[in-house]
Every structure is written in structure tokens, then in C-alpha cells.
Amino acid sequence: MKTFVLGLTAIAGIAASANAAWGFKYQFSTDGGATYGALRSVDVSGGDVNVKFRVVAYADPDTNVNANGGAGPAVAYARYTGSEKLTGWGSAANGDALVGLMTRGQLTSGGTTYLNNSLSAGNMILGGTTATSFASQLLLSGSLAAYCPSSGGNPQLEWVIRTGEMKVGQLGGTREITFGNNTRTTNTWYRDLLINGVQDVNTAAPDGSATDVGGVLQVVPAPGSLALIGLGGLVAARRRRA
């Protein structure tokens, strides 16, 4: 029996911080999408298991965005240019596979290359090996007010930008699978700024560096297997003493 355990890690050398202003979360669901998180476990003793995944752009309250025309707090996500990477996963011999089609989550416009996938140097690249923009203007002028407190709106500080489902093959054996950023050249947010009483729709990257929280998926022996290993060692020690 093998069990998958998903844990938290900082991706691409970016240190995790409880006070991060903005970044990306790489999350998994083992209950069909009812709940998501960066810590999940799955029992694959009965065969291959499907695990849903998603990428979420997030910003903390009062994260500053200094766009053309002035600065203001981030209130809604605008644009993403980049791709993600799954390491240690994607081998057909292991039974790994993407199940169905990936989607753009809440972002609904832009290039289709964001939904492509390819295996490169043992890594599954989601979106291609080069950065690909898939959203130019998420909100039309006049719609931004719904997210801006200055106009009576409510900020939305988490946006799902990619969703998908992966089959984790039972034949993969003991391994570690990580999920995180591959390439990223653009990440912009709308901010709350009134110019002559009208919401300004310019966007920019938030202040500071991104902090990404990635997933780690490990195949580990089941508790029963560990107990047998421990028992075997105890028997061997007794034989040596005898």
C-alpha cells in the first residue's frame, strides 16, 4: 500500500512568508473539487487515483498597486503570463495522465496555449515552455466599481486562473511530485483609484516580490508497511544477539 501526502513548500527559491503581499497558491483536491488545499493525502492501494489541481492568484488586503495614473490597493486580478511545472509526474509508463481538459478558471479570454501541456526533461509543463499571456482585460471599464470599496464594491483577492485533473499512476513507485511556477513574466492587478470620480482601469504588478506556495506530493509506505519493516529489524537484531 502507498499513500500520497501533499505538503507546503516555497517554489523556485522564493521563501514562504506568513505576511506575503501577493503571489500564487498551487492547490490540490482529493474530494472531487469540494475542497482545495496545499496539504492532501490519497490512498492508491486500490489503483490509480485522480487528483484535481488549480492555481490561485492571491493578494493580501491593502497590497499596493502603482499603475499609470497613481497607486491604490489591489481589488481584482487582471492578467497572467506564464506556465507551471509538475516534477516527477507525467510518465505514461507509471500510468500518469491528465484527465479531461484544463480550463482557465475564472479568467475567460486570451491565448489557447495556456491550456497546452508537454513533457520536457522529466517535467510536465502546463502552458508551454515559454510564457504565454491568456488574459488582456478581465474587466471592462465600468465593471471595476463592483470590486472597489470607494464605489461601494467588495475586493476579490483570490482568483482561480487554472484548473485541471491529473491521474496519479500506482506504478510510479516511491517518488516526490512538486507543483509550482515554471515561467512568469507578467502578473497584474486592478487597483482602487478614482480619477475625476470615475474608476481608473489601469493595471500593474503589486509592490514587492511574489511569494508562491507550492504543493509537494510524496509516495510513502503505508503505516502497516512501516510496522513490518520495524518488526523485521527487531527479528534480525534478536538473531544477531542469539
- Spans of all domains in the chain: 2-241
Closest CA to 55 of 30, 32, 29, 73: 29
Can you read off the three cell numbers belonging to residue 142?
Answer: 465600468
Task: Report the pLDDT averaged over residues 151-172.
Answer: 92
* 94-103, 124-133, 145-154: range with lowest mean pLDDT: 124-133
Which pLDDT score, from 0 to 100, does residue 56 have?
Answer: 95
Which pLDDT score, from 0 to 100, does residue 114 have?
Answer: 86
DSSP single-letter state for residue 196: T
DSSP single-letter state for residue 228: H
Asked if pLDDT for residue 167 goes beyond 80, the answer is: yes
The three-state secondary structure class of 93 is: helix
Rounded to an integer, what is the distance from CA 171 to the centroid of its chain?
Answer: 25
Asked if pLDDT for residue 152 goes beyond 70, the answer is: yes
Contacts of residue 92, Cβ cutoff 8 Å, sequence gap at least 6: none
Asked if pLDDT for residue 222 goes beyond 70, the answer is: no
In whole angstroms, give the CA distance from residue 116 to residue 161. Answer: 14
Asked if pLDDT for residue 241 goes beyond 60, the answer is: no
Contact (Cβ atoms closer than 8 angstroms) between residue 126 and residue 24 = no
In whole angstroms, give the CA distance from residue 235 to residue 37. Answer: 41
In whole angstroms, give the CA distance from residue 139 to residue 134. Answer: 14
Can you read off the three cell numbers belonging to residue 80?
Answer: 497572467
Average pLDDT, the chain: 81
Tell me the whole-structure pTM to 2 decimals: 0.81
Residues above pLDDT 90, as percent of the chain:
48
Asked if pLDDT for residue 89 goes beyond 70, the answer is: yes
Which pLDDT score, from 0 to 100, does residue 3 have?
Answer: 52
For the beta carbon of residue 22, count every other beta carbon within 10 angstroms.
24
pLDDT bucket at 234, cuts 50 / 70 / 90:
very low
DSSP one-letter string for 89-139: ---GGGT-EE-S--B-TT---S-GGGG-EEEETTEEEES-SS--B--S-SS
pLDDT bucket at 185, cuts 50 / 70 / 90:
confident
Task: Report the pLDDT averaged over residues 26-41.
Answer: 90
Taking the alpha carbons of 66, 140, 157, 86 in that order, is the dihedral positive or negative?
Answer: negative
Which pLDDT score, from 0 to 100, does residue 142 have?
Answer: 81
Task: Report the pLDDT averaged over residues 122-127.
Answer: 91
Contact (Cβ atoms closer than 8 angstroms) between residue 165 and residue 51 = yes
